[in-house]
């Protein structure tokens, strides 16, 4: 019997032992497509990225928006779920993934025009049960049982891919899944996070992988994600994300404007003077090499010295509840916000 069929059988046996009624009903948002409506153009968007020259933004109720004119106009893509999407990554102009609430991971192979569901919280629970059964770990089995009983309620907050095959997605309560075949199969990871803190950010950086989360949690894998170790951190607040620059510099950012820079793959960290009283919600390396951090009110912090210092640029037109950040092909800075998409002139 094929290994994946053995896995499905093992998961089925575990779930049967716990009782067929243990799992709650599957939410309609996992089976019903996102509603195509003009209102989507002003919907809350939570993340945005580039797919070649195209911009792809994701947000509430399965909304995916596409722009082929550097953010001047947007149109809605077809999406098979209504779960809110919190993260999006493309490895080239055609192939990318989005992840979000209810344990959803989607894949597109046409630049975001169409999406296929690869994982949801129901299947994720089955995979966690399968892994716990194989490990024989009583604590893991109890956690897996609770995972199934609670239903597909746990969101993914971020995902990243190093190429078209290898990726990792992280989320609430230590939720972490990895793939080595482009998402055809996703496998759960048990990260060194005994308190099951939320995991908010993940980035590949060369041969290493970094994960950031609550209460100053930073994890590093030096073997491409096969194993992880906890990093010492000077900060005990939440990290909301990571920026891995092409130079090798790593910046962890989060609550109340806190940000820390590492030039040695996470061995040591220096606190950055951001001057922001609000949380930092996103970051990106611009085409020209400048590093940009996004405050949750739409202010930008720009660095032209590899993240050693930053200058602040206020959001044009006043504060906006900003969540995601990228740069368009023409150099403009593009923001995903709770009031739809926004563009700012090139720095």
Express each pLDDT in 67-126 by its tens digit.
999 999 999 999 999 999 999 999 999 999 999 999 999 999 999 999 999 999 999 999
pLDDT of residue 110: 98
Q: Which of these, 113, 209, 206, lies nearest to 160 by C-alpha position?
A: 209
* Residue 14 pLDDT exceeds 70: no
Q: pLDDT band at residue 15, thresholds of 50, 70 and 90?
A: very low
pLDDT in tens, 282-305: 999 999 899 999 999 999 999 999
In percent, the amount of the chain with pLDDT more than 70 equals 93
Q: Which of these, 256, 257, 249, 292, lies nearest to 274 by C-alpha position?
A: 257
pLDDT of residue 20: 42
Cβ proximity of 303 and 291 under 8 Å: yes
* Residue 177 pLDDT exceeds 50: yes
- Locate tokens 């969101």: which residue? 155
Q: pLDDT band at residue 22, thresholds of 50, 70 and 90?
A: low
Q: Average pLDDT, whole number, for the chain?
A: 91
- Measured in residues, the chain has a length of 347
Helix or strand run (H / E) with residue 141: helix 138-150
pLDDT of residue 23: 65
Cβ proximity of 327 and 334 under 8 Å: yes
Can you give the pTM of this predicted structure?
0.92
Count Cβ atoms within 10 A of the Cβ of residue 236 and give its class: 0-12 exposed, 13-18 middle, 19 or more buried.
exposed
First and final C-alpha spacing in the chain: 57
Which stretches of 128-207 are assigned E, i.e. beta strand? 156-161, 167-171, 176-179, 187-188, 199-205
Cβ proximity of 280 and 240 under 8 Å: yes
Query: What does the alpha-carbon distance between residue 303 and residue 210 come to, in Å, rounded to a whole number?
Result: 22
pLDDT in tens, 121-152: 999 999 988 888 887 777 778 887 887 888 78
Query: What does the alpha-carbon distance between residue 140 and residue 7 come to, in Å, rounded to a whole number?
Result: 16
Residue 293 has φ and ψ, to the nearest 5°, of -110, 145
Count Cβ atoms within 10 A of the Cβ of residue 302 and give its class: 0-12 exposed, 13-18 middle, 19 or more buried.
middle
User: How far apart, in Å, are the Cα atoms of 12 and each of 3, 6, 141?
Assistant: 14, 10, 14
Domains of the chain: 44-108+152-344 (2.130.10.10)
For residues 228 and 9, the model is more confident at 228
Residue 50: CB atoms within 10 A of its CB come to: 20
Structure tokens at 338: 């709770």
pLDDT in tens, 231-267: 998 899 999 999 999 999 999 999 999 999 999 999 9
pLDDT of residue 209: 98
Count Cβ atoms within 10 A of the Cβ of residue 274 and give its class: 0-12 exposed, 13-18 middle, 19 or more buried.
buried
Q: pLDDT band at residue 17, thresholds of 50, 70 and 90?
A: very low
């Amino acid at each position: 019997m094929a290994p994946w069929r053995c896995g499905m059988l093992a998961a089925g046996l575990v779930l049967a032992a716990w009782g067929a009624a243990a799992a709650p009903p599957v939410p309609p948002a996992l089976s019903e497509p996102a509603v195509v409506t003009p209102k989507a153009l002003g919907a809350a968007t939570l993340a945005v990225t580039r797919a070649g020259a195209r911009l792809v933004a994701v947000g509430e109720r399965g909304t995916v928006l596409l722009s082929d004119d550097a953010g001047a106009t947007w149109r809605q893509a077809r999406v098979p779920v209504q779960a809110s999407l919190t993260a999006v990554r493309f490895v080239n102009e055609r192939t990318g993934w989005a992840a979000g609430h209810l344990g959803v991971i989607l894949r597109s192979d046409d630049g975001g025009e169409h999406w296929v569901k690869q994982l949801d919280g129901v299947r994720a629970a089955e995979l966690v049960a399968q892994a716990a059964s194989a490990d024989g770990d009583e604590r893991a089995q109890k956690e897996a049982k609770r995972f199934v009983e609670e239903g597909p309620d746990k969101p993914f907050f971020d995902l990243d891919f190093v190429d078209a095959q290898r990726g990792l997605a992280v989320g609430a309560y230590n939720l972490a899944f990895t793939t080595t075949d482009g998402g055809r199969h996703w496998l759960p990871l048990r990260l060194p996070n005994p308190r099951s803190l939320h995991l908010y950010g993940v980035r590949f950086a060369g041969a290493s992988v970094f994960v950031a989360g609550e209460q100053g949690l930073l994890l590093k894998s030096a073997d491409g994600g096969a194993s992880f170790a906890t990093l010492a951190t000077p900060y005990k607040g939440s990290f909301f994300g990571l920026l891995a620059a092409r130079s090798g510099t790593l910046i962890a950012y989060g609550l109340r404007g806190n940000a820390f820079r590492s030039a040695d793959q996470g061995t040591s960290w220096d606190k950055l003077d951001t001057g922001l009283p609000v949380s930092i919600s996103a970051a990106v390396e611009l085409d020209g090499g400048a590093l940009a951090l996004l405050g949750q009110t739409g202010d930008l912090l720009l660095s032209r010295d590899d993240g050693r210092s930053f200058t602040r640029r206020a959001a044009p037109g006043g504060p906006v509840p900003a969540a995601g950040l990228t740069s368009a092909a023409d150099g403009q800075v593009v923001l995903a916000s709770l009031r739809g998409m926004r563009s700012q002139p090139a720095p």
